[in-house]
Structure 1
Amino acid sequence: MSDAIKHECGIALVRLLKPLSYYQEKYGTPYYGINKLYLLMEKQHNRGQDGAGIATIKFDVKPGNRYISRYRAMGSSAVADIFEYVQKKFAAVNKAYPVESKDTDWLKEHVSFTGEVLLGHLRYGTHGKNSIESCHPFLRQNNWMTRNLVVAGNFNMTNVDELLQQLYELGQHPKEQADTVTVLEKIGHFLDDENQELFDQFKKDGYSNIEISAQIAKNLDVAKILTRSAKTWDGGYTIAGIFGHGDAFVMRDPAGIRPAFYYQDDEVLVVASERPVIQTAFNVPLGAVQEIKPGHALIAKKDGTISQEMFRQPATQKSCSFERIYFSRGSDADIYKERKELGRLLCPQILQAVGSDIKNTVFSFIPNTAEVSYYGVMEGINTYVRNYQKDVLLKRADKISDLELEEMINITPRFEKLNVKDAKLRTFITQDADRTDMVQHVYDTTYGIVKDHDDTIVAIDDSIVRGTTLKQSILTILDRLNPKKIVIVSSAPQIRYPDCYGIDMSRMGEFVAFEAAISLLKQNGLAHVVDEVYQRCLASITKPKDEVENYVKAIYEPFTDVEISAEIARIIRPHNLKAELEVVYQTLDNLHKACPNHLGDWYFSGDYPTPGGNKVVNKAFMNWVEGKNVRAYFSN
């Protein structure tokens, strides 16, 4: 993607189903669980580079001994830093206690991070809140083992203010306005309730306090706790948690917005945000990895019982299509096919943009995530050429000259790597005071391929958010090759609306499509539409969220997609660009054809999967009108 956007976050959970001694005997290491957690997190590094954290819980620890371990770190090397810290601990123990360290029972008693349940999290910070305190996992601690709670997740709630009010009404006093706090305290409150109910029940039955603790751990109803906690949540979420005694869960929102995959055998239960990382870390086939169903929680009891239970009625599934276009690793079998299909489906629009002049067109892509879509374009263009050759030859078989025949047979599309991304330069320029000038050189190009003033360059991007990098760098670099025309092709549709479920796209003014629509309104004497939409948004503030519509759609209604694309091309065009410029976007229909199981498209269509989404988009528009450069919802 030319304009990188951030996403929060990635999770990994490992639940060992055998004693540590089993892994020592079979795999030659008592650290099997922590090693696998490292692999799962490192393979998901794409999902969070601002911070990371891990937590582990040990089973059946004697009173007075630690059973919860946690470590968090900041920065792009956070995962490596965390596991270097843990491995140094292990190495020191192995050196100081060479005999004892071979005894898994001794290790578990004396060494941290040797538990049976391990939870990891990778974080992308949003809007300036980026500190160690913001890194998951979060702890809610208590002297009662079954009241301890560890939580980490990939989520955003749209109704944090409402959830905070509910906590106030319960008598709590949260220390900050953040969805992580509301989630932690909501689950914690109903965990406390469940503990108290069970305590009262077993006390009445004559159990001693020590016996009651064991009975609570055995009988804790995890699904009931999650059902009560999530009753009023509005958002997209995959949330993982562990209770102090060892019960663990991973819950997924009713619309299946955020991803969650799991694998289970007789040795381990593992959950991650992406499927291929599980396949790689555990060497299992595609079919062995399953998705957690929307509105369900995968629950692993301390006794090893594993079930998937509904905590909220599933809604119409609207899994995030941006996961398929950009965020998730392209090594997933289905995502790879979908990204190729996104490229292939663009071919009719591309051919129209270049006048079907294959001979004088150079096809390329903008590194690095657009590469797979580019392969789809290659397939589509090659298919077009073969069909064109076949059609012409069949129709003119008895009339075609030898020269024409030779030219027809030798039509070969030109696929080249024109754009080269200089990652080291990008790291440097983020700290350079004169970034505007230096950013032009984030990308370089391959010289000597494009014919001066004859060729058209077609460059595939996976999506265009702001268009800033295109304007400041890519287009200027490509123009140095002296093409007749440049066609920028987005494998995603126009991004028109903010996300509020975990992607860092929350402000209307950041979208070049929105800027183009506003510009067209002014050009066509329709500036009054802005005020009319603002007034509708303003009037909806006091309405129940279920009654609120996305009024911002009216900004785009007067114009076709093609008109907005043309205005985007004008906006992102550098003032000194010599070549003709056209911008081509994927259609919504083709997006759904390519990704039929991931129909969440609210950032393109404005059709939000939860009522809170409509309130957020209206608030984001109001913020833009009022000149407030803030997000339209609270977050961690």
Structure 2
Amino acid sequence: MFDDSVRDECGIAVAAYLGHEAGGLETADPVDAARLIPGMLLDIQNRGQLAAGISTFSPERRPLIRTHKELGAVSEVFKLADKVANKALMQRLAGTIAIGHTRYSTCGADDVSYAQPLERVHGKPFKWFSFCFNGNVANHQQLAGKLVSEMGYHLTRPDSDTELFMHYLAFQQRGQRKANWRKALGALCRVIDGAWSLALINAAGDLVVARDPVGIKPLCYGFRDGYLLAASESIALQNMGVRDIVDVAPGTALIVEQGRLRVERFVPERRPAHCFFEWVYFANVASTIESQSVYAARARLGVALAELESETVTPDHIVVPVPDTSKAAGDAFAYTLGLPSIEGLVRNRYVGRTFIETDDRAAKVRRKFVALRGILQGRKIFLVDDSIVRSTTLAYLIDYMREEGGAAEVHVRIACPPIMAPCFYGIDMSTIGELFAPRFTDKPTLQGELPAETRRAMADAIGADSLNYLPVDKVASAIGLPQRSLCMACVSRKYPTPMGRQLFRQAQANVEAGITGGRTTMIANHCG
């Protein structure tokens, strides 16, 4: 996706030494947890490049919890290019439990104070904790208002979901006796509406790794050499040598107390609502989520898209996937039609994110991609992308392929249905007005293709010769899960939580009232 790319909020990683309970060996180092985190975060840095951090627990040092976090990529934050600096940092962070985080916020400041993990210091060890999470609190505004006006709290970062989460977690630990984690998480779910995966350590040596009640955000775990390892994506565990990887069930938590692990359900089982966009775009292509391979799902999306093709294929046609997340779908699309899939667009992987953040979209296209004229000139291109959100940058990319690449025709094929509604669960598309597809159609087409005249108008708007999307009813079978177990709210307008439905009604009201810009909230801006 290069259409003003949407951003997921973050990724989490966990390492906790459990010894023989986790298949530990006598040679395993019990204080090596911190050294495992940077590599795991590197594998899920597709989820966030703005900031990274780590918190560790060790009973052998005065600060029982120690936190390190900075703005920048994982390699920068953990000094991976400087062996001496990295070694010193890892020694300082040595401990038996570590949690890590990589952030790409949907909003909130690009400031280190928003980086995670977020530590809350307290004199009582069970009330002193650090935590990180991946997700979004949909009812942020209501909860923030309650904290301030009814409970007497002060929010130093009022737009931060993380600080909001911290206060509600701390509230569950009020009193002189440590709360039961299962009951605390259950109470939290009665208050918070949204999507989240959570990792928390406290200064008593507890670890909590939990997933929201409907499992919108992914989370998995496994064991290696005495360590419990958990992460937002399986690739982080696979590359650590974990072979038996288990998805954390929605509404359940891994809880470690006094070195013993248990898995507990903290809310009654509900119908799951896994974010389908993980398979379409967000997740690392090598990951597996809910036992479904991301690569295989994207390939099947490409096959399904090809089976709809009405364009007469000639020897002049080639398929060009938009790098990098569209490659699996593009290759499968090409194979199904008997066409070559060619890297006609080469991505410049050495241009940093900050360098390409510019309002000049034409310059952004040229800095990020090179159109290979020797490949594209005179050819009819099937340009395969994973989705269209806003369309503005895609239009520049098509123009660039014609002018610089010499493409004779550009036919855009999208391996995803039209994005018809905002996401309130952690993807930075919060208003209907910013979206491309609702400008051309009033409601989702839940079965079959969009009408031909609608697709023609869309293609004209972005300067393409033609445009087609994958229908909504083709997605679930390509992913390999029942449609009823997926959150597809952004394409179907059917939200899995009460606040999601309420916010969508507000988004529609904003459109009718001519309110544009900002984010859809009941009162004001939010997110973390």
TM-score by length of 2: 0.88
Counterpart in the other structure of 1:211: none
Q: What is the distance in 2 between the residues matched to 1:153 and 1:141? A: 18
Counterpart in the other structure of 1:445: 371
Worse overlay, 178-187 or 582-591: 178-187
Q: 1:132 Cα deviation (Å)?
A: 0.8
**AA partner of residue 414 (structure 1):** P
Q: 1:422 Cα deviation (Å)?
A: 3.2
2:478 maps to 1:586: no
Q: Verify the 8 A CA contact 1:50 1:130 in the aligned structure 2.
A: yes
Counterpart in the other structure of 2:40: 40
Evaluate the alpha carbon distance shift between residue 82 and residue 482 of structure 1 in structure 2; reply closer, same or farther with a 3 A threshold: closer
More helix by share: 1
Counterpart in the other structure of 2:382: 458
Q: Verify the 8 A CA contact 2:383 2:413 in the aligned structure 1.
A: yes
The structure 1 residue matched to 2:153, chosen from 162, 172, 188, is 172
Evaluate the alpha carbon distance shift between residue 307 and residue 83 of structure 1 in structure 2; reply closer, same or farther with a 3 A threshold: farther
Q: Verify the 8 A CA contact 1:260 1:273 in the aligned structure 2.
A: yes
Evaluate the alpha carbon distance shift between residue 312 and residue 432 of structure 1 in structure 2; reply closer, same or farther with a 3 A threshold: closer
**AA partner of residue 441 (structure 2):** A
Hey, which bits of structure 1, 4+ residues long, moved more than 6 A?
22-25, 554-557
**1:235-275: CA deviation from partner (whole Å, max 9, x where unpaired):** 01101111220111111111110000001356011110000
Counterpart in the other structure of 1:635: 527
2:424 maps to 1:500: yes
More strand by share: 2
Instruction: Tell which structure's C-alpha radius of gyration is larger.
Output: 1
Counterpart in the other structure of 2:356: 430
Q: What is the distance in 2 between the residues matched to 1:440 and 1:554? A: 30
Q: 1:619 Cα deviation (Å)?
A: 2.8
Counterpart in the other structure of 1:137: 117
- Please list every run of 5 or more consecutive structure 2 residues that lacks an aligned counterpart in the other structure: none
Residue pairs, 1:151-170, within 5 angstroms: 151-167=131-147, 168-170=149-151
Q: What is the distance in 1 between the residues matched to 2:354 and 2:110? A: 21
**1:274-308: CA deviation from partner (whole Å, max 9, x where unpaired):** 00210112x122xx00011101111111x222122
The percentage of aligned residue pairs carrying the same residue is 25
**1:36-94: CA deviation from partner (whole Å, max 9, x where unpaired):** 111111111111111111101113x47xx22110011002x34432355997567569x
**AA partner of residue 465 (structure 2):** L
Evaluate the alpha carbon distance shift between residue 556 and residue 621 of structure 1 in structure 2; reply closer, same or farther with a 3 A threshold: farther
Q: What is the distance in 2 between the residues matched to 1:426 and 1:479? A: 25
Counterpart in the other structure of 1:327: 282
Worse overlay, 325-334 or 169-178: 169-178
| Count of paired positions | 509
Q: What is the distance in 2 between the residues matched to 1:439 and 1:563? A: 31
Q: Verify the 8 A CA contact 2:138 2:499 in the aligned structure 1.
A: yes
Aligned partner of residue 517 in structure 1, secondary structure: coil
**AA partner of residue 293 (structure 1):** A
Q: Verify the 8 A CA contact 1:345 1:380 in the aligned structure 2.
A: no
2:236 maps to 1:284: no
Q: Verify the 8 A CA contact 1:86 1:113 in the aligned structure 2.
A: no
Q: Verify the 8 A CA contact 1:14 1:268 in the aligned structure 2.
A: yes
RMSD of equivalent CA atoms = 3.0
Q: 1:555 Cα deviation (Å)?
A: 12
Q: 1:131 Cα deviation (Å)?
A: 0.7
Counterpart in the other structure of 1:615: 502
Q: What is the distance in 1 between the residues matched to 2:87 and 2:318? A: 55
Q: What is the distance in 2 between the residues matched to 1:58 and 1:378? A: 53
Q: Verify the 8 A CA contact 2:38 2:74 in the aligned structure 1.
A: no
TM-score by length of 1: 0.74
Q: What is the distance in 1 between the residues matched to 2:131 and 2:354? A: 36
Evaluate the alpha carbon distance shift between residue 132 and residue 180 of structure 1 in structure 2; reply closer, same or farther with a 3 A threshold: same
**AA partner of residue 465 (structure 1):** V
Residue pairs, 1:52-451, within 5 angstroms: 52-59=52-59, 61=60, 65-75=62-72, 77-83=73-79, 88=84, 91=87, 112-127=92-107, 129-167=109-147, 168-177=149-158, 178-193=160-175, 196=176, 198=177, 220-264=179-223, 267-281=226-240, 283-285=241-243, 288-301=244-257, 303-332=258-287, 334-350=293-309, 352=310, 354-355=311-312, 357-382=313-338, 413-424=339-350, 430=356, 435-442=360-367, 443-449=369-375
Q: Verify the 8 A CA contact 2:234 2:287 in the aligned structure 1.
A: yes
**AA partner of residue 155 (structure 1):** G
Q: 1:17 Cα deviation (Å)?
A: 1.3
Q: 1:417 Cα deviation (Å)?
A: 2.1
**AA partner of residue 210 (structure 2):** M
